[in-house]
């Protein structure tokens, strides 16, 4: 996968993930590597604490364990932003944000001036020129984001980028893609199960099933099987949607990311789906030689999946 | 051909109100910079104008000074011209006097000194009612003859006596007198005793 946009950084990132879970996670990733090398994970850290609103001590503790010389990137918790698909306004790119803001304001009761917006296309113009164009719009409350930035800066952190989880997972799925195929990446975190569908590195579809891991852990085997069936059904429906909406990107593989706990999802999907289901081997995407703890812990890999994917934003890598 | 992947950043400024604010700030900054630049330009132009004004004033002073010098020279030139004209006039008079002297010298055989002395002695005599018509020095300055007219015979006698007194240092003497009633003075001297005379 190649990232065509020029990034504001070419050395690497220290990515901090503020999730909805009970921990903070940070990774330092060196992306300035030779063409035949993988991005190298320099450091990884996880500290306990509220991910959405971490205290200063937890942040300082986290930053003490990673590379502070790299620019900082933050990924927001899923509850702190909204991601939606909209028709692409027929306006010049420089006017896109204003047009989207106006379009969203006409659908909303409240003013949209208080939201930070970002957008990205769902590329279909080459394969389906006649299809109306669509794009993803990300909305984050400005007041909350401003307060968070101020709090982060008080701890010595000055984030240069604020990203979201879907694009972070998209980056990893994009690395795993083979030429011409569509890929489904299934990931499990503390709050649910996500499905990311990509083609040529771009995000085409995203699904998220809210299912707190704590409930699943406490459930009986029958309830766990029900959850697995629910995930499989949603996956098949999504693949069907992809097949009808984007016939140029057939989903032929499903990659299951490491889970915080051994839930048996990979085995269930491999047995039930008429598709190739593979486990995600992070060492194919990243050089983990400097972080053996990460290389040996699927749970830590599951926790660090989003910051690792977010830190790939300036990388030019091919799996 | 693959479509470039878009990376989002929610830190980007997105609110139109902020854009307007930044645009206003940028406009303000540009205005300040432009004003500063324009002000410096105006100051530079003002300084250039002041320098030009001073140069023009200095040139004016120089021109006035040259005009003053030229006026003085012109005045001097005028005076010189007047003097030249005066000299020329005097030269003409001198030449006339010289011509007279030459003529007298020629007539008297080079004895102009005798004539001058006799003339000087006779010129100092003044007798009311008597005027001379001619004065002749001859015989190498040994002989003097004076002709004239007078309102009466007594004046002629007084003049003859005083002339002899003046001529005495020159060893000259007028001892002969022809006296007769004025011929042309009948109209003016008839009945008044006017006479013409010749002393020698």
Q: Which of A214-223, B32-41, B44-53, B92-101 has the highest mean pLDDT?
A: A214-223
What's the Cα-to-Cα distance from B103 to each of A84, A145, B110, B169, rounded to whole Å? 143, 135, 10, 26
Statement: residue B52 has pLDDT above 90: no
Q: Is the Cβ of B20 closer than 8 Å to some Cβ of chain A?
A: no
Contacts of A98 in chain B (CB under 8 A): 16
Give the mean pLDDT of B15-30: 70
% of chain B beyond a pLDDT of 90: 6
Lateral strand order in the sheet of A23-30: A40-48, A23-30, A12-18, A72-75, A161-163
Contact B9 A118 (CB under 8 A): yes
Mutate one of A2, A94, A118 to test the B interface: name it (highest B CB count within 10 A). Answer: A118
Q: Which of A1-15, A237-251, B118-132, B142-156 has the highest mean pLDDT?
A: A237-251
pLDDT for position A59? 86
Reported as a single tens digit per residue, the pLDDT across A166-205 is 999 999 999 999 999 999 999 999 889 999 999 999 999 9
Contact B8 A159 (CB under 8 A): no
Contact A116 B12 (CB under 8 A): yes
pLDDT for position B102? 60
Contact criterion met (CB below 8 Å) for B135 and B122: yes
Q: Which residues contact A224 (CB under 8 A, 6 or more apart)?
A: A216, A263, A264
Coil, strand, or helix at residue A251?
Answer: strand
Contacts of B22 in chain A (CB under 8 A): none
Contacts of B14 in chain A (CB under 8 A): 97, 101, 115-118
Mutate one of B9, B10, B18 to test the A interface: name it (highest A CB count within 10 A). Answer: B10
Grade residue A256 by pLDDT with cuts at 50, 70 and 90. very high
Reported as a single tens digit per residue, the pLDDT across B58-83 is 887 887 787 777 766 666 667 777 77
Q: Distance between CA atoms of A225 and A83, rounded to whole angstroms? A: 29
More confident residue, B184 or A130: A130
Statement: residue B196 has pLDDT above 50: yes
Pick from A77, A92, A33, A14: which is nearest to A208 by CA?
A77
Q: In a 10 Å sphere around its CB, with 0-12 CB exposed, 13-18 middle and 19+ buried, how is residue B200 labelled?
A: middle
Residues of A at the B interface, defined by Cβ within 8 angstroms = 1-5, 7, 76, 81, 97-98, 101, 113, 115-121, 123, 125-126, 138, 140, 142, 145, 149, 159-164, 167, 174, 200-202, 313
What's the DSSP call for residue A112?
A: S
**How far away is chain A from the Cα of B21, in angstroms, using its nearest Cα?**
14
Contacts of B7 in chain A (CB under 8 A): 3, 5, 7, 120, 163, 167, 313
Residue B38, beta-bridge partner list = none
% of chain A beyond a pLDDT of 90: 65
Q: Between helices A56-63 and A142-154, what is the axis angle to 10°?
A: 60
Contact A1 B5 (CB under 8 A): yes
Listed range (A42-46, A65-69, B123-127, B184-188) with the worst mean pLDDT: B184-188
pLDDT for position B184? 59
Q: Which of B6, B9, B17 sits opposite A162 (nearest CB)?
A: B9
Statement: residue A111 has pLDDT above 70: no
Contact criterion met (CB below 8 Å) for A131 and B11: no
Contact B7 A167 (CB under 8 A): yes
Query: How many interface pairs between A and B have CB atoms less than 8 angstroms apart?
Result: 79
Neighbours of B131 (CB within 10 A): 9
Report the residue of chain A nearest B3, measured CA to CA.
A123
Neighbours of A315 (CB within 10 A): 24
Listed range (A105-109, A123-127, A182-186, A271-275) with the worst mean pLDDT: A105-109
pLDDT for position A110? 63
Contacts of A75 in chain B (CB under 8 A): none
> Beta strand A161-163 with A72-75: parallel, antiparallel or unpaired?
parallel
pLDDT for position B75? 63
Give the mean pLDDT of A18-47: 88
Report the residue of chain B nearest A141, measured CA to CA.
B10
The structure tokens listed for B142 are: 């040994």
Reported as a single tens digit per residue, the pLDDT across B143-191 is 888 899 998 888 899 999 989 988 888 888 888 999 888 875 444 445 6
Residue A18, beta-bridge partner list = A24
Contact criterion met (CB below 8 Å) for A164 and A76: yes
ipTM of the complex, rounded to two decimals: 0.86
Neighbours of A252 (CB within 10 A): 14
Contact criterion met (CB below 8 Å) for A102 and A95: no
Q: Distance between CA atoms of A30 and A14, rounded to whole angstroms? A: 9
Reported as a single tens digit per residue, the pLDDT across A56-88 is 888 888 899 999 999 999 999 999 999 999 999
pLDDT for position A109? 65
Statement: residue A6 has pLDDT above 50: no
Contact A81 B6 (CB under 8 A): no
More confident residue, B121 or A181: A181
Report the residue of chain A nearest B13, measured CA to CA.
A116
Terminal-to-terminal C-alpha distance of chain A: 8
Question: To which residue do tokens 């400024």 refer?
Answer: B13
């Amino acid at each position: 996968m190649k990232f065509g946009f020029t990034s504001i950084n070419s050395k690497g990132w220290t990515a901090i993930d503020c999730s909805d879970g009970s921990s903070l996670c940070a990774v330092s990733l060196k992306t300035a590597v030779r063409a035949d090398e993988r991005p190298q994970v320099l450091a990884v850290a996880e500290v306990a604490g509220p991910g959405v609103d971490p205290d200063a001590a937890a942040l300082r503790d986290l930053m003490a364990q990673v590379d502070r010389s790299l620019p900082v990137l933050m990924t927001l918790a899923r509850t702190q932003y909204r991601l939606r698909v909209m028709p692409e306004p027929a306006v010049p790119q420089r006017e896109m944000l204003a047009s989207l803001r106006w379009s969203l304001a006409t659908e909303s009761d409240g003013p949209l001036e208080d939201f930070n917006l970002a957008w990205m296309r769902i590329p279909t113009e080459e394969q389906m020129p006649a299809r109306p164009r669509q794009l993803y719009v990300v909305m984050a409350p400005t007041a909350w984001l401003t307060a968070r930035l101020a709090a982060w800066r008080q701890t010595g952190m000055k984030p240069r980028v604020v990203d979201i989880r879907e694009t972070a997972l998209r980056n990893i799925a994009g690395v795993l893609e083979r030429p011409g195929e569509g890929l489904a990446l299934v990931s499990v975190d503390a709050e649910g199960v996500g499905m990311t569908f990509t083609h040529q590195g771009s995000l085409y579809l995203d699904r998220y099933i809210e299912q707190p891991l704590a409930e699943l852990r406490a459930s009986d085997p029958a309830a766990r099987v029900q959850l697995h069936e629910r995930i499989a059904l949603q996956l098949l429906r999504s693949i069907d949607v992809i097949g009808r909406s984007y016939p140029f990107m057939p989903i032929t593989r499903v990659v299951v990311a490491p889970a915080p706990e051994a839930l048996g999802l990979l085995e269930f999907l491999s047995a039930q789906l008429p598709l190739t289901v593979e486990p995600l081997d992070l060492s194919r995407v990243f050089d983990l030689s400097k972080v053996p703890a990460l290389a040996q812990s699927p749970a830590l890999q599951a926790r660090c999946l989003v910051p690792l994917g977010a830190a790939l934003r300036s990388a030019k890598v091919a799996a | 051909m693959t479509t470039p992947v878009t990376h989002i950043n929610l830190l980007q400024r997105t609110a139109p109100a902020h854009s307007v604010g930044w645009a206003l700030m940028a406009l303000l900054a540009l205005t300040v910079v432009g004003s500063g630049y324009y002000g410096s330009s105006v100051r530079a132009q003002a300084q250039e104008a002041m320098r030009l004004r001073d140069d023009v004033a200095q040139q004016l002073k120089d021109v006035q000074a040259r005009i003053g010098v030229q006026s003085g020279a012109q005045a001097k030139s005028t005076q010189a011209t007047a003097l030249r004209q005066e000299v020329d006039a005097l030269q003409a008079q001198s030449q006339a006097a010289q011509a007279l002297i030459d003529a007298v010298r020629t007539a008297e055989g080079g004895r102009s000194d005798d004539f001058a002395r006799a003339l000087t002695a006779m010129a100092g005599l003044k007798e009311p009612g008597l005027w001379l018509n001619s004065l002749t020095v001859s015989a190498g300055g040994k002989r003097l003859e004076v002709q004239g007219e007078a309102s009466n015979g007594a004046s002629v006698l007084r003049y003859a006596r005083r002339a002899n007194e003046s001529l005495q240092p020159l060893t000259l003497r007028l001892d002969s007198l022809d006296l007769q009633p004025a011929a042309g003075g009948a109209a003016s001297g008839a009945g008044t005793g006017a006479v013409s005379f010749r002393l020698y």
